[in-house]
Amino acid sequence: MVIVCSLTVMMKHGYIGEFEVVDDHRGGKIVVNLTGRLSKCGVISPRFDVGIKDIEKWTNNLLPSRQFGYIVMTTSGGIMDHEEA
């Protein structure tokens, strides 16, 4: 479910095309249509608790530019990008 929500955020911003969840009665698979706009995708590990006032600081540290890229984060309101949070 977390992966599907993260892919939905990426699709909303145009980084990926449509995706399809394939149920093979085992672990399952997700087939993603790549559009060529995605250059790098990573995970921040370990997870950090970030307050609302610290989102700007983390965005400046992790993204190469202010107008380039998104940080997808899990919040109590669901999974969203840093601008929506």
CA distance 34 to 49: 31
Determine the straight-line distance between the first and last CA of the chain, rounded to whole angstroms.
19
Across the range 40-55, mean pLDDT stands at 87
Domain 2-81 has CATH 3.30.1370: yes
Domain ranges in the chain? Answer: 2-81
Could you read off the pLDDT of 3-39 as tens digits, one per residue? 999 999 999 999 999 999 999 888 889 999 999 998 8
Confidence (pTM): 0.79
